[in-house]
């Protein structure tokens, strides 16, 4: 006969190891997919991690979230393929390699070949793969590790090329510029990484200018003018005066308050009106001048009078046009107007920011968003260029300053008496023109090139872009169809970002990444975008034929430097070289829905079956990374979402809410956690403790608690079941006992169980694992263990193997088995063991793993809300009686005669009557008595039903409530009898109330000590009769004998003989009168009361001492 496994001191880490071995041996993961062949697919995309660092505890979190829903959907019958993946390109790898080799970017191609360098990157990036694979297995994250997609593989890159070509053909790929830090001295752009080198930011003293931008006198702007000749100016401050000739807009803060001030220009003494932020007025005007009439000013006065005349918000000013400040070059589109910028502050300057789209990245962005052009001139090739050339000199079109360096890049002696920086010359010119309001030196930090030590310029540099703005509306529209968890990340963080979208800058000037497959002639007139290896090979043949390339090369690797060595030929026969850029690594990962199948070059069908994803999950920090690139590519390529449901999970912090870092030593090692507490407790804790999208404060003590409270309780419940089921040989071989023949508590727990099955299903369907975990946990701990098992213990260990006992076993078995299934997505290892321990004996399921099984069906007919309510009453009443016993110092073992419960209606009485037996046995009393209205002794309490009364009486609520509180017992009786009562609420007003407007409860039974909770009141009869007293002693004896049995290491089923020293009369009487009871409880075959006990043990029973001896039945061979 098969037995249920029994465990002593279950080791949860070992459960993990054992189950993992079982899964491996029987290919359970593969079969969880293959057994669903032909079922509806549930498509999941794995966001590829990078294996160049070790995995952390937060990866356990992120992956648990992914895993839960894949397992859940498998339970629900879907087929869930999940291909693993590795993200292998990008800056972090390159920086790591540079650091290890002790080189900088400059050395690549010089002291180390690009080939060697990239080889090094390729090795480095997968360095920790085995650790990752190990964690993936140990934490129970099921994903196909044997056939992952790897972004550095040729096929993957080829797919990306094919996608880029599609975008290119649709006109979404273009070459433009972005504003980047640039060093004219070195003639090269600087990465933000280079800019963050220590010492790059230096204190410098610059000439700064508050310039005056004159408002145009057009109808649109007339609200800014008060009189005919008035000249109104915007004041804008800049620390880089050399950018002023390139100004095309001014930015204001939407919510910032601005004022118009009438005053005089301090250099020309002309009367002017200026607009600036209200908060900054005091920085530009001397308060001492406040109050001096404007008319009292004469040219040259030190104290310049001013008067604030009007106030506006930034929003009011948006759209106002002004005259170009330094009209050297004209724009191609309308410019010179006020726009709103989120970067504008009133920290310094005037609260109005000068915008030169070619020389600032904020400027560039805000201009692009508002369709403001940049000022450009044509270079010698007729290509557009900014007003400053790459050496840092003004172009010839800026006539007054043509050829001058905007900063000192030539090493001129700045201490020479006649040395004037360009910034100063500009200031002088503006002063003369009456366009400078204030010129002063200002000390601030400014980034410098780490090689030339000269100030950097923010300068437009060539870049390739994807024109995401062309599909902006569609991106927004389709985003609204995505189910975001939490919703706010989709509407807020992601939605707002889409609203302010700029084109996607693809270019990266690095070495280890996917090369941009575009070849161009030197003049940029002709170009080709390559979409496949085949096409490249064909083009190479053409190039060789045309003689621009020496010999055909074999294409073995699509990385640099190999692709750089390929020269193609244009239609007109010119050589074309590859644009040297790599593409943004986010394109790599965003392309995974296609490239993981080598689509569009092959596998069209597989792709179509697996697009879009039903579900993805990653950290919220991916919002503008993977979540965006997936979405953008799907919209541009397929006009579809890439994913239908997405969980953006939060961070894992240490227990104090600080970020974990190896440096601070507060990082938690996932392997250690899993090794110590087992994978299930770690997963369960992370999921149950806080919703995934909140940050998790990870406290190992919480894992301990989860292990003890949830897994410990569940395991205890199972152990209890296994212990007795093995004794009784219960294998669930019999037919199920019909519900109607089961006990009230059986039907109750089955009802609760079905409610749970439905709840967990709806939570998981809604992608809320936390609610699911908590619901399961509450059921196991509160309902199943602490109530059902506690109340029903005796049914398992007493009596014959009859239908009632069978019903108890079946009920408990069913609960445990269903729990195993419900918990299996979250605690896959323990649930597996539980399922198998049960199923190996009963053989009820043919599936040999819980992960091959199916989600339980909800038996709606088994859900009985009325029963659940009754049981809640029983629990409350029991708790009240316990509390009364406590107050009277009467222990539970002492039986009592009765409790009294006032009931105001028949329904309550019937409900309680149905659970009387449970209450009586739980709190050890003989009878439940009910007191209703007819007894005439109930004291009632009345309380206003605020919700109801508020709707009716509104403002008079307080008066009515006061009147209700004043009602006496007669009034309440009247209200109940007549179904209404008229109350005087003030001198002249009355209010008519119905019983629905109040809550009536019984408060007291005169002469009894009562306890109440909510509307329930219970009184306890504390009279202890002689018989009750004896029964109490009998129970005490049973307890002591049981302890003795245990101390003697007897097995539960061992029979004993008891010999008791006769002593005081009470004890003797108790033994005589309750002999049968004592014998039955203690499995005693005999109970002898003698005067002479040999080898006895002295036991304390109440105030008495009892000498007792027990011996086991001789074992009959």
* Smallest separation (angstroms) from RNA to the CB of 592: 20
Does residue 626 carry a catalytic annotation? yes
Q: For RNA, which stretch binds (CB under 7 A), given 116-124, 140-148, 242-250, 891-899?
A: 891-899
Q: Which is nearer to RNA, 330 or 491 (CB)?
A: 491
Instruction: Give the residue, chosen from 239, 268, 580, 695, that forms a contact with RNA under the rule CB under 7 A.
Output: 695
Residue 488 binds to RNA (criterion: CB under 7 A): yes
Contact between 708 and RNA (CB under 7 A)?
Answer: yes
> Judged by CB, which is closer to RNA: 441, or 947?
947
Helices 769-778 and 57-75, axial angle in degrees (round to 10): 80
Per CB under 7 A, does 865 bind RNA?
A: no
Please identify, using beta-carbon distances, which residue of 604 and 794 lies nearer to RNA. Answer: 794
Q: Considering the rule CB under 7 A, would residue 181 count as an interface residue with RNA?
A: no
Q: Which of 662, 891, 926, 943 does the annotation list as catalytic?
A: 662
CB of 771 to RNA, least distance (A): 8
Closest-CA residue to 916 (of 1078, 740, 745, 779): 745
Please pick, from the candidates 800, 947, 1094, 1117, the single residue that binds RNA as defined by CB under 7 A. Answer: 947
Please tell me whether residue 662 binds RNA under the rule CB under 7 A.
no
User: Token pair for residue 292?
Assistant: 């001096």
Would you count residue 709 as binding RNA (CB under 7 A)?
Answer: yes
Query: Between residue 771 and residue 830, which ones bind RNA under the rule CB under 7 A?
Result: 781, 785-786, 789-790, 793, 797
Among 174, 1046, 1086, 1113, which residue interacts with RNA (rule: CB under 7 A)?
Answer: 1046
- Our CB check for RNA shows the closer of 292 and 1050 to be 1050
106-135 footprint of RNA as x/- string (CB under 7 A): ------------------------------
492 binds RNA (CB under 7 A): yes
Q: Which range touches RNA (CB under 7 A), out of 144-152, 536-544, 808-816, 1034-1042? A: 1034-1042
Residue choice 612, 702, 769, 902 for contact with RNA (CB under 7 A): 702
Span 753-772, contacts to RNA by CB under 7 A:
770
SS3 category, 528: strand
Of 23, 586, 597, 684, the catalytic one is 586
The reply to whether 96 sits near RNA by the rule CB under 7 A is no
- Beta carbon of residue 928, minimum distance to RNA (angstroms, whole number): 18
CB of 417 to RNA, least distance (A): 39
Rule CB under 7 A: say whether 368 interacts with RNA.
no
Binding of RNA by 1004 (CB under 7 A):
no
3-state secondary structure 955-1021: HHHHHHHHHHHHCCHHHHHHHHHHCCEEEECCCCCEEEECHHHEEEEEEECCCCCEEEECCEEEEEC
Among 395, 1035, 1059, 1078, binds RNA (CB under 7 A): 1035
In degrees, to the nearest 5, what angle opens at C-alpha 196 toward C-alphas 441 and 93? 165
Residue labelled with tokens 């507490």: 677
Judged on CB neighbours under 10 Å (0-12, 13-18, 19+), 558 is buried
Cα-based distances in Å from 841 to 4, 18, 140, 310, 715: 6, 19, 25, 87, 17
Catalytic residue among 49, 55, 67, 87: 87
Neighbours of 402 (CB within 10 A): 12
Residues 594-623 that bind RNA (CB under 7 A): 620-621, 623
Closest to RNA by CB, 400 or 499:
499
Choose the catalytic residue: 79, 212, 596, 622: 622
Should residue 957 be labelled a site residue for RNA when binding is judged by CB under 7 A?
yes
Query: Given candidates 291, 327, 955, 1006, which one binds RNA under the rule CB under 7 A?
Result: 955
Q: Which two tokens stand for residue 581?
A: 């850029």
State in angstroms the smallest separation of the CB of 936 from RNA: 24
Query: Would residue 586 show up in a list of annotated catalytic residues for this protein?
Result: yes
- The site for RNA, by CB under 7 A, has a size of 79
Q: How far is the CB of 700 from RNA (least distance, A)?
A: 12
Q: Is 880 exposed, middle or buried (0-12, 13-18, 19+ CB in 10 A)?
A: buried
Contact between 891 and RNA (CB under 7 A)? yes
Is 1045 among the residues that bind RNA (CB under 7 A)?
Answer: yes
- Residue whose entry in the numeric block shows the structure tokens 């003698």: 1090
Neighbours of 763 (CB within 10 A): 19
| Cβ proximity of 135 and 61 under 8 Å | no
Rounded-to-integer distance, Cα 1115 and Cα 717, Å: 31
Is 87 assigned a catalytic role? yes
End-to-end CA distance of the chain: 21
Selection from 201, 91, 106, 104 nearest residue 449 by Cα: 201
Give, for 578, the enclosing helix (H) or strand (E). Answer: strand 575-578
Does 624 interact with RNA (rule: CB under 7 A)? yes
What angle is formed at CA 21 by the lines to CA 18 and CA 24, rounded to 5 degrees? Answer: 150
344-363 footprint of RNA as x/- string (CB under 7 A):
xx-x-------------xx-
User: 573: which 2 tokens?
Assistant: 């026969």
> Among residues 859 and 1003, whose Cβ is nearest to RNA?
1003
Q: Is 3 in the site for RNA (CB under 7 A)?
A: no
Peptide bond into 612 cis (omega under 30): yes
Q: Is 1052 in the site for RNA (CB under 7 A)?
A: yes
Q: Please state, in angstroms and rounded to a whole number, the distance separating the CA atoms of residues 1088 and 1072.
A: 10
Q: Does residue 984 carry a catalytic annotation?
A: no
User: Which residue's CB is nearer to RNA, number 361 or number 666?
Assistant: 361
Q: How far is the CB of 1033 from RNA (least distance, A)?
A: 12
DSSP string, 755-810: HHHHHHHHHHHTT-HHHHHHHHHHIIIIIIIIIIIHHHHHHHHSS-S-HHHHHHHH
Contact with RNA (CB under 7 A) among 961, 975, 998, 1071: 961
- Which token pair is 650? 């939060």
Is residue 717 at the binding interface for RNA, with CB under 7 A as the rule? yes
For RNA, the binding residue among 719, 726, 743, 1068 (CB under 7 A) is 719
Q: Indicate the residue among 480 and 886 with the shorter CB distance to RNA.
A: 886
Give burial (CB, 10 Å; 0-12/13-18/19+) of 112.
Answer: middle
CA proximity to 176, closest of 528, 507, 411: 507
Q: How distant, in Å, are the alpha carbons of 360, 368, 498 from that of 469?
A: 20, 10, 9
Measured from the CB of residue 706, what is the shortest distance to RNA in angstroms? Answer: 9
Catalytic hit among 23, 450, 484, 626: 626
Distances (CA, A) of 329 to 319, 361, 745: 22, 21, 88
Question: Distances from the Cα of 98 to the Cαs of 86, 195, 582, in angstroms?
Answer: 21, 16, 18
Q: Is 201 in the site for RNA (CB under 7 A)?
A: no
Distance, in Å, from the CA atom of 1016 to the CA atom of 1003, rounded to the nearest integer, reads 9
Catalytic (active site) residue 107: no
Rounded least distance, CB 1015 to RNA, Å: 10
One DSSP character per residue, 127-161 reads: TTHHHHHHHHHHTT---EEEEEEETTSHHHHHHHH
CB-nearer residue toward RNA: 331 or 700: 700
- By CB under 7 A, is residue 293 in contact with RNA? no
Shorter beta-carbon distance to RNA: residue 366 or 591: 366
Contact call for residue 713 and RNA (CB under 7 A) = yes
DSSP bridge partners of 520: 527, 577
Closest approach, Cβ 1050 to RNA, in A, equals: 4
Contact between 879 and RNA by CB under 7 A: the answer reads yes
**Cα–Cα distance, 524 to 939 (Å, whole number):** 97
Q: Which residues contact 413 (CB under 8 A, 6 or more apart)?
A: 419
Output 580 or 945, the one with its CB closest to RNA. Answer: 945
- Alpha carbons 881 and 885: distance in angstroms, whole number: 6
> Given the rule CB under 7 A, which of 483-491, 526-534, 583-591, 931-939 is the region that contacts RNA?
483-491
Residues carrying an active site annotation: 48, 87, 586, 622, 626, 659, 662
């Amino acid at each position: 006969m098969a037995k249920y496994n029994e465990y002593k001191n279950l080791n949860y880490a070992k459960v993990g190891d054992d189950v993992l071995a079982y899964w491996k041996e029987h290919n359970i993961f593969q079969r969880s997919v293959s057994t669903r062949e032909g079922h509806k697919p549930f498509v999941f995309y794995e966001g590829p991690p990078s294996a160049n660092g070790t995995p952390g505890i937060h990866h356990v979190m992120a992956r648990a979230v992914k895993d839960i829903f894949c397992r859940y959907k498998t339970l629900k019958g879907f087929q869930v393929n999940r291909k693993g993946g590795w993200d292998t390109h990008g800056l972090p790898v390159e920086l790591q390699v540079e650091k290890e080799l002790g080189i900088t970017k400059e050395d690549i191609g010089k002291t180390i070949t690009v080939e060697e360098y990239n080889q090094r990157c390729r090795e480095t990036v997968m360095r920790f793969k085995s650790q990752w694979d190990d964690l993936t297995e140990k934490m129970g994250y099921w994903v196909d590790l044997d056939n992952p997609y790897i972004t550095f593989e040729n096929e993957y890159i080829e797919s990306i090329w094919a996608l880029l070509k599609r975008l290119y053909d649709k006109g979404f790929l273009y070459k433009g510029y972005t504003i980047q830090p640039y060093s004219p001295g070195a003639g090269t752009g600087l990465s933000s990484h280079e800019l963050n080198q220590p010492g790059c930011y230096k204190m410098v003293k610059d000439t700064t200018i508050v310039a005056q931008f004159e408002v145009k006198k057009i109808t649109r702007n007339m609200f800014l003018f008060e009189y005919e000749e008035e000249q109104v100016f915007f004041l804008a401050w800049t620390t880089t005066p050399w950018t002023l000739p390139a100004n095309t807009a001014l930015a204001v803060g939407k919510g910032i308050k601005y004022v118009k001030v009438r005053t005089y220009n301090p250099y020309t003494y002309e009367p002017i009106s200026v607009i600036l932020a209200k908060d900054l007025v005091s920085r530009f005007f001397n308060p001492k001048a406040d109050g001096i009439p404007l008319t009292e000013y004469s040219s040259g006065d030190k104290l310049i009078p001013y008067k604030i005349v009007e106030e506006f918000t930034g929003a009011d000013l948006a759209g106002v046009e002004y005259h170009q400040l330094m009209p050297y070059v004209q724009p191609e589109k309308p410019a010179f107007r006020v726009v709103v910028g989120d970067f504008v502050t009133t920290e310094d300057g005037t609260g109005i920011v000068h915008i030169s789209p070619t020389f600032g990245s904020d400027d560039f962005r805000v201009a692009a968003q508002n369709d403001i052009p940049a000022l450009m001139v044509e270079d010698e090739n007729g290509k557009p260029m900014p007003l400053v050339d790459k050496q840092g000199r003004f172009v010839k079109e800026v006539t007054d300053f043509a050829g001058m360096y905007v900063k000192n890049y030539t090493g001129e002696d700045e201490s020479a008496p006649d040395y004037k920086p360009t910034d100063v010359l500009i200031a002088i010119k503006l002063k003369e023109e009456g366009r400078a309001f204030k010129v002063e030196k200002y000390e601030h930090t400014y980034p410098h090139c780490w090689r030339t030590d000269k100030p950097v310029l923010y300068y437009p540099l060539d870049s390739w872009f994807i024109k995401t703005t062309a599909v902006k509306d569609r991106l927004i529209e389709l985003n609204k169809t995505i189910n975001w968890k939490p919703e706010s990340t989709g509407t807020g963080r992601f939605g707002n970002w889409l609203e302010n979208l700029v084109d996607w800058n693809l270019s990266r000037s690095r070495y280890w990444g996917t090369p941009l497959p575009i070849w161009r002639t030197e003049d940029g007139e002709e170009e080709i975008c390559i979409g496949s290896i085949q096409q490249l090979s064909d083009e190479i043949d053409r190039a060789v034929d045309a003689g621009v390339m020496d010999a055909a090369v074999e294409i073995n690797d699509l990385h640099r430097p190999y692709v750089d060595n390929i020269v193609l030929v244009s239609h007109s026969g010119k050589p074309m070289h590859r644009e040297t850029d790599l593409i943004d690594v986010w394109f790599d990962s965003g392309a995974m829905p296609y490239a993981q199948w080598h689509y569009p070059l092959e596998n069209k069908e597989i792709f179509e079956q697996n697009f879009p994803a039903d579900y993805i999950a990653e950290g919220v920090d991916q919002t503008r990374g993977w979540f965006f690139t997936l979405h953008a590519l799907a919209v541009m390529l397929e006009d579809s979402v890439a994913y239908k449901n997405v969980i953006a999970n939060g961070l894992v912090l240490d227990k104090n809410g600080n970020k974990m870092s190896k440096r601070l030593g507060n990082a938690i090692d996932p392997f250690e956690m899993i090794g110590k507490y087992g994978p299930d407790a770690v997963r369960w804790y992370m999921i149950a403790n806080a919703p995934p999208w909140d940050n998790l404060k990870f406290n190992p003590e919480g894992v301990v608690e989860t292990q003890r409270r949830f897994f410990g309780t569940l395991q205890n419940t199972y152990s209890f079941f296994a212990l007795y089921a093995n004794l009784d040989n219960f294998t669930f071989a019999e037919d199920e006992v019909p519900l109607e023949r089961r006990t009230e508590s059986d039907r109750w727990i089955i009802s609760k169980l079905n409610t749970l099955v439905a709840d967990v299903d709806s939570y998981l369907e809604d992608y809320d694992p936390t609610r699911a975990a908590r619901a399961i946990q509450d059921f196991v701990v509160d309902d199943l263990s602490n109530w059902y098992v506690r109340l029903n213990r005796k049914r398992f260990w007493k009596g014959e193997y009859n239908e009632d006992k069978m019903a108890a076993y079946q009920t408990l078995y069913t609960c445990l088995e269903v729990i195993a299934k419900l918990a299996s997505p979250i605690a896959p290892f323990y649930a597996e063991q539980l399922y198998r321990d049960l199923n190996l004996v009963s053989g009820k399921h043919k599936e040999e793993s819980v992960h091959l099984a199916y989600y339980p069906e909800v038996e709606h007919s088994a859900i009985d809300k009325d029963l659940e309510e009754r049981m809640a009453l029983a629990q409350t009443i029991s708790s009240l009686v316990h509390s009364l016993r406590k107050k009277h110092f009467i222990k539970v073992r002492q039986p009592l005669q009765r409790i009294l419960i006032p009931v105001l209606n028949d329904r309550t009485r019937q409900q309680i009557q149905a659970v009387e037996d449970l209450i009586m046995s739980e709190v050890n009393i003989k009878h439940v008595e009910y007191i209703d209205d007819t007894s005439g002794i109930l004291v009632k309490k009345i309380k206003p039903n605020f919700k109801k009364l508020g709707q009716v009486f509104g403002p008079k609520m307080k008066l009515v409530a006061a009147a209700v509180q004043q009602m006496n017992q007669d009034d309440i009786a009247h209200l109940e009898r007549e179904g209404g009562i008229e109350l005087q609420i003030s001198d002249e007003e009355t209010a008519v109330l119905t019983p629905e407007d109040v809550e009536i409860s019984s408060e007291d039974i005169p002469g009894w000590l009562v306890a109440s909770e909510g509307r329930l009141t219970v009184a306890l009869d504390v009279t202890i009769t002689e018989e009750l007293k004896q029964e109490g002693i009998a129970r005490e004896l049973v307890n002591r004998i049981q302890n003795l049995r245990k101390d003697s290491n007897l097995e539960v089923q061992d029979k004993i003989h008891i010999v008791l020293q006769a002593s005081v009369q009470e004890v003797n009487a108790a033994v005589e009168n309750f002999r049968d009871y004592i014998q039955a409880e203690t499995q005693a075959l005999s109970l002898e009361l003698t005067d002479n006990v040999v080898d006895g043990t002295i036991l304390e029973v109440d105030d008495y001492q009892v000498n007792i001896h027990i011996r086991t039945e001789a074992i009959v061979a």
